[in-house]
Amino acid sequence: MAPRRPPSPPVETLMHLDFSGKVALVTGAASGIGEAVARQLATNGARVVVADLDLAAAEAVAESLGSGARARQLDVGDADAVRQLVDASVAEYGGLHLAVNNAGIGGASLPTADYPLEEWHRVLGVNLHGVFFSMKYEIPAILASGGGAIVNMASILGSNGWAGSTAYVAAKHALVGMTKTAALEYSAQGLRINAVGPGFIDTPLLAGMDRAAYDGLVGLHPIGRLGSAEEVAALTCFLLSEQASFITGSYHLVDGGFSAR
């Protein structure tokens, strides 16, 4: 593959954010955005549950974060598995204060009328039902711990369409609405809930893409490059922090200008 554009500038470690004494659960945390979020939380004092379907990769991440992190295998599409993980995390750490519902899948690329029913259910099962299951069990645990914050990982496709991705787009639009609804329900009880909408992020998933396709994605972002997982994590961790204490029920884009076109 031809050389890519220069990488994005490094994001400084968020040392001004203090998560000391906080317990955080991050789903889809074995790689990409989830891993970057887990690292920034741990660097700033949180004890982190690194949850992912890929247990071996989650264990590698948790080991690199130190003794305050734990790796746990999780299929977010399994409601009972989510309940058990939240209960086990509270039992081990004594509470839960922060959650990032990041686990997600892409799905097939086909026109709406040709979209297979099984694929529709598979994508919504992870990207929408998985977030609902997560919040269903995270919310009582966080309220019982004195309050905190949740960030649900949406996408630019939570507010835009994308041909061939009807299930993914439907799930991400619904996720934004679900986030706003839950925020209305629990903000007065000390629980803030927001959504983040990343643009196209330069992760290992794009490593095999040819130069023309990669440059095509870059061209959709007026800033002239793709984003980094660390940049998404920086916004996510800010929203989890007390510095965002008056922000709830919002959908925050980190997309290099994609949605401003």
Annotated active-site residue in 168, 186, 214, 251: 168
Are the beta carbons of 145 and 97 closer than 8 angstroms?
A: yes
Angle formed by the axes of helices 32-43 and 55-65, nearest 10°:
20
3-state helix, strand, coil in the chain (%, to 5): 50, 15, 35
The one-letter amino acid at 225: R
Burial of 23 (0-12, 13-18, 19+ CB in 10 A): buried
Start-to-end CA distance of the chain, whole Å, equals: 29
Helix (H, G, I), strand (E, B) or coil at 72: strand
Active site residue 93: no
Burial of 210 (0-12, 13-18, 19+ CB in 10 A): exposed
Beta-bridged to residue 153, according to DSSP, are 196
Catalytic residues: 168
